[in-house]
Structure 1
Amino acid sequence: MRRVSMLGTAALLTAAVLGAGAPVETATATARTETVESAGPHGPAAEAERRVAEMTTTEQAASIVMGHIPTTDAATLAGYMQDTGIGGFILMGANVPGSEDALRTVTAALDTDQDVPPLIAIDQEGGDVSRLPWDEFPGSRTLKDSPAAETGAAFAARAALVTRAGANVNFGVVADTTADASSFIHARSLGAAPSDAADRVAAAVAAEEPFVASTLKHFPGHGAAPGDSHELIPSTRESLDEWRSSDALPFVAGIEAGASVLMFGHLAYTAVDDVPASLSPRWHDIARDDLGFDGVIVTDDLGMLISTGIPEYADPVANAVAAVTAGSDLVLMIAHSTPDTAAQLVVGIEAAVDDGTLPAERLQEAAERVMTLRLERAASGAVWAPCAGCEPVS
């Protein structure tokens, strides 16, 4: 059973942090007395199943694509979403204008479905990876050795910023850990050791979920696999048993804390599977069956696979089909994409169903999970509202 509920502690932390800092508009989450239960006969999961059953294969394929175009022009963004029919959009730096008010115009343009909002995501980790210039709350460099409560307060405040910007998914909780200061992920992690990071990861997820769909990344973890996955496929010989007692711990903690989304990295744990986790049925089974994750699995940017220069990953459509076939629910592509890429992925996924490469049942399952999350966020009660007497962020 998946639940979306308002966590009072996180809301209070957010109010405390925002109230103590520079004058800003507060993000509020409308109080809820009921809990949304996806397993209920009238809950989001049941409604998602009904909606997806009424979709064509093309519509199902479009619903599991998260695209991107680099512009702040509202008309262009609205046209992109309407023409492609895709279920999600990721905000990158090129989509973020100089003020919060202007960003809300951007995100409003993306919301072209009057019935159920799309998934609008952002990489708002804070610190080294930050798309919102006005996010001055502590990032991982500061929080790495801090108590879990401080991490929760920072991420509650950060999620409030994301919500009032008009996004509903934050790709913000890095569950990777490494003691190697030269690693690109070191400054972004919430601890050098998995056991140390686990409590902070759980606190970050619990604090974010009342406001946005919180995302754990990059499963199964960069720590054991040295190298930057933006340029190559990092690999490790770490065994599954070794992983379970180490790198898995922050992911387990985040899943138990209620993370809605799990982002799969382009990482090869060759003792488990030679192919990257993002394309590995085995790693998807581990996340589902061993760790009990029942939310949306999203790929890391599939364009990163192209950037490796490895011939077998040169085709973005083939990468997307392989990821969905393996068990991913939402395919994301940024690097090497054009305004036509999302539509090409949709056509390719549909063709894969038609020729039997991708089972229709797998596409339907993915579409249902994505639709469930969209409905959950719509029903969560997390909304932006200005506070009286507060000055806007500029």
Structure 2
Amino acid sequence: MSVEQKAGQVLMPWYSGTNVEAHAATIERLHLAGSIIMGDNVPLDANGQVNPAAMTAINTRLAHASRADGRPWPGLIGVDQEGGIVARLGTPLTEWPTPMSYGAAGNAALAKEAAHGMAAELAPLGFNVDFAPDTDVTIGPADPTIGARSMSGNPDTAGALGISFFQGMLAAGVLPAVKHFPGHGSVAVDSHQDLPVQPASLDELKARDWKPFQAAIAAGAPMVMTGHIAVAALEPGVPASLSRPTYAALRGLGFNGVAITDALNMGAVQKHYPGGSAAPAALAAGADLLLMPADVGLAHAAIVQAVAAGSLPAERLTEAAQRVATMLTWRGRLAAQAGTQAGVPAGAAPGSGSELSGRVSAAAVTVVSGPCSGPLVPGSVQLAGGSPQDRARFEAAAAKAGLATGSGPLVTLIGYNGRPAGGDIAVALDAPWPLGASSSPTKIALYGRTQGAFDALANVLSGKAAAPGKLPAAVGTFPAGTGCP
């Protein structure tokens, strides 16, 4: 491959809108590795739902573009589909609860099954990468970015569940990306906006934030995403995604796969590395794949120029491109072994995981305080909070469980980043942190707002089902592990 081809092979860009032909032309011209699909790239039908056939056509066009220069391995077609607040593809694909649900359920086999179900719906649409699982260890309310995207506040649990999750994805033919090394769950600034600083010592990081990554690497994770976090103990003031000591630390954990940066158009990088300068800097530091540079043309040119100037060693670029090509070749073989046609898993129909998604929520729902047996409410409840969709789903679930709405105890729904609530029963639909300061005598963590999650809630309220979940992280005065026996 020429320098220009290698420079393209390490870039995974985004594009705006649904003009796939213009983006495909850019991929061909710059020899790009592939593309990430963001929310505004997803084609919708007349009802505002994802159009699976149109999505497949877009991904097929992008895949063809990435092989236009004759490379024998497939291009990368990726998406952010974690479940909960991070899901670019909505209905008719299955809606999944937050990843914290798996920590609350404490069931690695269930996490693996769910990840396989998620990936099995993505693969037939042409996706071969999902930027999940998030193995960050959350520290609780002081963590403004990760929250319920984290599976647990316990490093060992986060590691075990992360392994199960990525193994489930791989079994369906989709490449996972374990994220965000060196750990985004213990910093107090959102890297989408600015550069967070991690003040912990290396010993502290090894004992907490790095543990899930160490476990995932030992289990064979093919790709690790680096976050835009400045680690004072490694390289003060420099985002980990552009820091040579950080990549050295990652490789020191035994990682030989593809190190991909978090999106380079995020505030933590954009504010400090103008133009295309972040791209060659990240490669020189040790990154192999650069996600979403702000301007892919500028980034490509900057890489080529850096090699010519000697500031980016040619062998470093070759190493990065080779790692990406090797991973994609390996994934193709893995998918073929899984019983596929043309390297694409047979997969599952959109929405086929809905029953499984509901089982995840039923296993996760946690009574933080209040009765652990029998009906929690009489035959009718009042409802407050949440979005119009949340309330509609609650009412549908209540009707199925034999509960009326309009009178009785007050159930208050707390949405994403919501405030503590009053009423008789407070229900956290995302991270459970608001329950700590809620005045309600009965507090329930649901970790999701899917219809299956509300069905699980209604069954607990009506006494038709127990709440088996346990808090995966401390909430106020309630320690991790709180829940019904």
Aligned positions of 1:12-23 closer than 5 A:
none
Structure 1 range deviating more: 320-329 or 96-105: 96-105
* 1:266 alignment counterpart: 228
Which letter maps to 1:252? Q
Q: 1:177, 1:186 within 8 Å by CA — same for their partners in 2?
A: no
TM-score of the superposed pair, with normalisation by structure 2: 0.64
**2:251 counterpart of 1:294:** no
Of 121, 130, 134, the match for 2:87: 130
Where relative contact order (Cα < 8 A, 6+ residues apart) is larger, the structure is 1
Q: 1:159, 1:212 within 8 Å by CA — same for their partners in 2?
A: yes
Of 3, 15, 27, the match for 1:81: 27
Which whole-Å CA distance do the structure 2 matches of 1:78 and 1:361 have between them?
A: 28
Q: 2:63, 2:75 within 8 Å by CA — same for their partners in 1?
A: yes
Query: Once the two structures are superposed, what CA deviation does each residue of 1:356-385 show, in whole Å capped at 9, x if it has no partner?
Result: 100111011001001111212222225243
Structure 1 residues 203, 242: closer, same or farther in 2, change over 3 A?
same
Which whole-Å CA distance do the structure 2 matches of 1:167 and 1:67 have between them?
A: 15
Which whole-Å CA distance do the structure 1 matches of 2:177 and 2:53 have between them?
A: 25
Q: 2:137, 2:208 within 8 Å by CA — same for their partners in 1?
A: no
Aligned positions of 1:194-343 closer than 5 A:
194-210=155-171, 211-274=173-236, 275-289=238-252, 291-305=253-267, 309=271, 313-333=272-292, 337=294, 341-343=295-297
Of 374, 379, 383, the match for 2:344: 383
Query: Once the two structures are superposed, what CA deviation does each residue of 1:25-77 show, in whole Å capped at 9, x if it has no partner?
Result: xxxxxxxxxxxxxxxxxxxxxxxxxxxxxx11111111111111123334233
**2:145 counterpart of 1:145:** no
Of 335, 354, 358, the match for 2:308: 354
* 2:114 alignment counterpart: 154
Cα RMSD, aligned residues only: 1.9
Which whole-Å CA distance do the structure 1 matches of 2:270 and 2:26 have between them?
A: 28
Which whole-Å CA distance do the structure 2 matches of 1:308 and 1:58 have between them?
A: 24
Deviation at 1:135, TM superposition (A): 2.7
Count residues with an aligned counterpart: 328
* 1:106 alignment counterpart: 58
Unaligned 5+ residue runs, structure 1?
1-54
* 1:165 alignment counterpart: 125
Aligned positions of 1:35-114 closer than 5 A:
55-97=1-43, 98-112=50-64, 113=67
* 2:148 alignment counterpart: 187
Deviation at 1:212, TM superposition (A): 1.2
Which whole-Å CA distance do the structure 1 matches of 2:329 and 2:251 have between them?
A: 21
Deviation at 1:391, TM superposition (A): 8.1
Percentage of pairs with the same residue: 36
* 1:118 alignment counterpart: 75
Deviation at 1:201, TM superposition (A): 0.7
Q: 1:213, 1:259 within 8 Å by CA — same for their partners in 2?
A: no
Q: 2:192, 2:268 within 8 Å by CA — same for their partners in 1?
A: no
Structure 1 residues 168, 272: closer, same or farther in 2, change over 3 A?
same
Query: Once the two structures are superposed, what CA deviation does each residue of 1:91-111 show, in whole Å capped at 9, x if it has no partner?
Result: 100111222221101100101
Query: SS of the counterpart of 2:83?
Result: coil
Q: 1:138, 1:154 within 8 Å by CA — same for their partners in 2?
A: no
Q: 1:89, 1:121 within 8 Å by CA — same for their partners in 2?
A: yes
Deviation at 1:264, TM superposition (A): 0.5
Query: SS of the counterpart of 2:132?
Result: strand
Q: 2:80, 2:88 within 8 Å by CA — same for their partners in 1?
A: yes
Structure 1 range deviating more: 273-282 or 179-188: 179-188
Structure 1 residues 263, 119: closer, same or farther in 2, change over 3 A?
same
Which whole-Å CA distance do the structure 2 matches of 1:188 and 1:316 have between them?
A: 31
Query: Once the two structures are superposed, what CA deviation does each residue of 1:182-219 show, in whole Å capped at 9, x if it has no partner?
Result: 52201101112212212111111111123111101110
Which whole-Å CA distance do the structure 1 matches of 2:159 and 2:350 have between them?
A: 36
Of 107, 125, 135, the match for 1:175: 135
Deviation at 1:122, TM superposition (A): 0.8
Structure 1 residues 243, 83: closer, same or farther in 2, change over 3 A?
same
Which letter maps to 2:220? G
Query: Once the two structures are superposed, what CA deviation does each residue of 1:264-322 show, in whole Å capped at 9, x if it has no partner?
Result: 00001102221221111111011112x1111111111111146763xxx2414211111
Structure 1 range deviating more: 106-115 or 242-251: 106-115
Q: 1:177, 1:197 within 8 Å by CA — same for their partners in 2?
A: yes
Q: 2:196, 2:268 within 8 Å by CA — same for their partners in 1?
A: no
Query: SS of the counterpart of 2:131?
Result: strand
Structure 1 range deviating more: 184-193 or 74-83: 74-83
Which whole-Å CA distance do the structure 2 matches of 1:384 and 1:264 have between them?
A: 28
Q: Which protein has the larger Cα radius of gyration, Structure 1 or Structure 2?
A: 2
Query: SS of the counterpart of 2:158?
Result: helix
Which whole-Å CA distance do the structure 2 matches of 1:130 and 1:232 have between them?
A: 23
Which whole-Å CA distance do the structure 1 matches of 2:4 and 2:23 have between them?
A: 21
Which whole-Å CA distance do the structure 2 matches of 1:197 and 1:316 have between them?
A: 36
